[in-house]
Structure 1
Amino acid sequence: MPLPPPADREPIHTRRVVCEGFRRADGLWDIEGHLTDTKSYPFQVADRGTLEPGDPVHEMWLRLTVDDRLTVKEIVAVTDNSPYRTCGSITPNFQKLVGLPIGPGWTRAVKELLGGTKGCTHLVELLGPLATTAFQTIYPVLARAQEEKAKAEGRKPSGGERPVLLNMCHIFASDGDVVRKHWPDYYTGDEPAGAAAE
């Protein structure tokens, strides 16, 4: 269901974030993000003069190359447009993420390494959706491959391993119906694990 109709209003600012995930031929994964900020009116920018409506105030790119464990192997950060000419000079600092796994503690580590004056606010913000995109790209492909391998070997598809999604969101709470139905070995609720979820 979409948002309810708004009050009368006029557009002022638009931020667009597009994230895409790719499987590489060498077995790694590329996760790319593109961020743009535009205004609906002309205005002056410190080092660029007048920007017309729709001209990008910010236009930035990130590419994370990760392995199956979501460990960052390479990173490329690019600032194509920004209010100040020197904004892009901070992009080499993003190399600090190489070797960092995307998972618990990712956001905290990113802020420690690149927060405040150590990074670019907009590129750091882009790392959040990129991390989610990495997970959404890689997890389903690997889970499907593990399930097919287990079936071919006559084993339980879960393989007895703790589900990666467990407790990552309210829907995957260990005491909830989804876990009770799909991963009864990890169910911690009050209903019997074998009971059919409604």
Structure 2
Amino acid sequence: MHKRAITLEGFRRSDGLWDIEGHLQDTKDAPFDIHGDMRLPGDAVHDISVRLTIDHRMNVLDVAVSFDATAFPGTCETVGPDYRQVVGLNLFKGFVKTVKTLFRDTQGCTHVSELLMSMPTAAFQAFAGQVRYEDRVDARQVPYHLDRCHALSLESEVVRRAYPRWYRGKKPVSGDGLPGMPTSPEGRRDAG
């Protein structure tokens, strides 16, 4: 009934900067009436693109937002210029939280904000093997990707082997329960 396609791509530019581009397209497989605006099967309900231009330190230097199709033409795209507020932010220093704050509720476009919130990890992947981590951030800073997923927990074996400087060891488990799970006086996990 509905298809949402999201694409994120990273491009190294000839001037040494990077473009991180996001594209979101929603389509329906049946005629879809949006308050009198009939969309045929395969027609885009949303066709929205965002491009961030960043430097090797993940600083946002420019942003461009494009609304090729919206649910409410003439209204949705008027918020596009407001996204200039992300210029000057750093993708690895509170970017997602700032986007959520700046463009919460009616202050932004849900779809543009969703694309922007995916861009730090897209940029990270684009840089992998292309830009040394030490050239991206302060060497004293815990690498951005650590402690953001199970495999890269600071207590994981992967971090112990690949990033020994940041390894924090296993968290102790009390009793015979799971970490953080209360146990009964007899040492069994509580059911409730």
The TM-score bracket by the shorter chain reads 0.7 to 0.9
Structure 2: stretches of 5+ with no match in the other structure: 171-192
Shift >4 Å, 4+ stretches: 159-162
Aligned length: 167
Identity score, percent? 40
Q: Distance in 1 between matches of 2:103 and 2:128?
A: 26
Give the CA deviation at 1:143.
2.3
Which one of 5, 17, 25 corresponds to residue 6 of structure 2?
Answer: 17
SS in 2 for 1:172: coil
Aligned to 1:76: 64
Which one of 29, 36, 46 corresponds to residue 25 of structure 2?
Answer: 36
Which one of 87, 91, 96 corresponds to residue 107 of structure 1?
Answer: 96
User: TM-score, structure 1 length as denominator?
Assistant: 0.77
Higher share of residues assigned helix: 1
Structure-2 change in CA distance of 1:39 and 1:138 (3 Å):
same
Aligned to 1:65: 53
Which one of 136, 146, 152 corresponds to residue 166 of structure 1?
Answer: 146
Structure 1: stretches of 5+ with no match in the other structure: 1-11, 147-158, 191-198
Give the CA deviation at 1:162.
4.5
Structure-2 change in CA distance of 1:136 and 1:43 (3 Å):
same
Instruction: Deviation per CA, 1:120-162: give whole Å up to 9, x if none.
Output: 111111112222211111243112897xxxxxxxxxxxx8874
Which stretch shifts more, 161-170 or 122-131?
161-170
**Match of 1:137, as an amino acid?**
A
Give the CA deviation at 1:30.
0.1
Q: Is the contact between residue 46 and residue 83 of structure 1 (CA under 8 Å) also seen in structure 2?
A: no
Aligned to 2:105: 116
Aligned to 2:81: 92
Structure-2 change in CA distance of 1:46 and 1:160 (3 Å):
closer
Which stretch shifts more, 18-27 or 107-116?
107-116
SS in 1 for 2:92: coil
| Alignment map for 1:141-156 (pairs within 5 Å) | 141-143=130-132
